[in-house]
Homo-oligomer: A and B are copies of this chain.
Amino acid sequence: MTRTDLVAALDIGGTKIAGALVDAQGRIRVRTQRPTPARENAEAVHKTVEEVLGELTRSPLWAGARALGIGSAGPVDAAAGTVSPVNVPGWRDFPLVERVQAVSGGLPVTLIGDGPAIAAAEHWQGAAQGYDHALCMVVSTGVGGGLVLGGSLYPGPTGNAGHIGHISVDLDGAPCPCGARGCVEGIASGPSIARRALDDGWRPAPDGDTSAVAVAAAARDGDPVARAAFARAARALAAGIAATATLVEIEIAVVGGGVAKSGEVLFAPLRRALRDYATLSFVRDLTVVPARMGTDAGLVGAAAAALNAPCGVLPPV
């Protein structure tokens, strides 16, 4: 890849569809986005993708694009080139790779889940830089993640690996919409933290804000119920992170997303709980740190995945 070569990237979520042209240093050179018409039919959603892509292809920089990476809300099926995002019901087994390829001048297209995309971004430019074995997570409305193993992104055969939000850490726990019980997401997501605090008697400030951000503020002020809700989330995250480390030997867990923005209200009990659950010699030194990539992580990660696509479409940088 030469200095002027670029990678096109799409970040497809239930709220927004973003597109970018990213350079070999990971800098976003062109950026655009639209709201996702998440309740509309398959073609309406795809029309928005085409509008975003259209803005990229009309850029004078488009001529430098050598590949296109897509990070999409999951589940995705990278082998089939299709996506079925939970929050976009109109898209079920939607042939996104084929449809995007058709309107992007035949560029090689790489598809991964949004969790692996975040992991690719943190590994390339963020807090996982220099680590060969890492778990990168987003703790927000949902809980997702992606893995770096042996120095490379490990998206798995269908592009969904690292889906830590839906592993059970409480096999008799509350039913999860996914069908299982006691999933990490059902305990540690923002809405789960807020629900637990309210159930246990926490009352919001006069502004009526009952979000996890408000619970975090109360916890910071010493409210014991709010602190307990965060401690509970921290234990679920710690059990999930320790399980991941025990299964695939990660050295670092990077945690981002809205709930992670609470800072030490989450990270202090998380580090304590990790000492309880990550006990074996080969996982004991595991560190957990906040994410460094901002809201563009999905785009940067999609670009990284396209750059490092196993078929080696691009010459080395």
Contact = CB atoms under 8 A, between A and B. Distances in A.
A133 interface: yes
14 contacts: A77-B282, A133-B156, A133-B157, A147-B248, A158-B249, A166-B279, A167-B246, A168-B277, A169-B170, A170-B172, A171-B239, A179-B279, A181-B277, A243-B247
Contacts of A172: 170
**How many of these chains are in the complex?**
2
In this complex, the member of A75, A160, A242 whose beta carbon has the largest number of chain B beta carbons within 10 angstroms is A160
A244 interface: yes
Interface in A102-130: none
Contacts of A280: 75, 160, 163, 166, 178
A133 B247 CA distance: 14
Determine the main DSSP class of A at the interface with B: loop
Contact of A169 (B75, B157, B168): B168
Contacts of A243: 167-168, 243, 247
A145 to B, nearest CB: 8
A156 to B, nearest CB: 3
A253 interface: no
Chain A, interface size: which category? 35 or more
Contacts of A158: 249, 282
A77 B283 CA distance: 12
Given A77-B282, A158-B282, A166 B246 contact: yes
A154 interface: yes
A238 to B, nearest CB: 8
Nearest to A164: B247
Contacts of A181: 276-277
Interface in A167-219: 167-172, 178-181
A279 B185 CA distance: 14
A84 interface: yes
A46 interface: no
A181 B178 CA distance: 25
A189 to B, nearest CB: 16
A249 B132 contact: no
A164 B147 CA distance: 18
A158 B285 CA distance: 13
B282 A248 contact: no
Given A160-B249, A167-B247, A243-B247, 11 more contacts: A133-B157, A149-B149, A157-B249, A161-B248, A161-B249, A163-B246, A168-B169, A170-B170, A171-B277, A180-B278, A247-B248
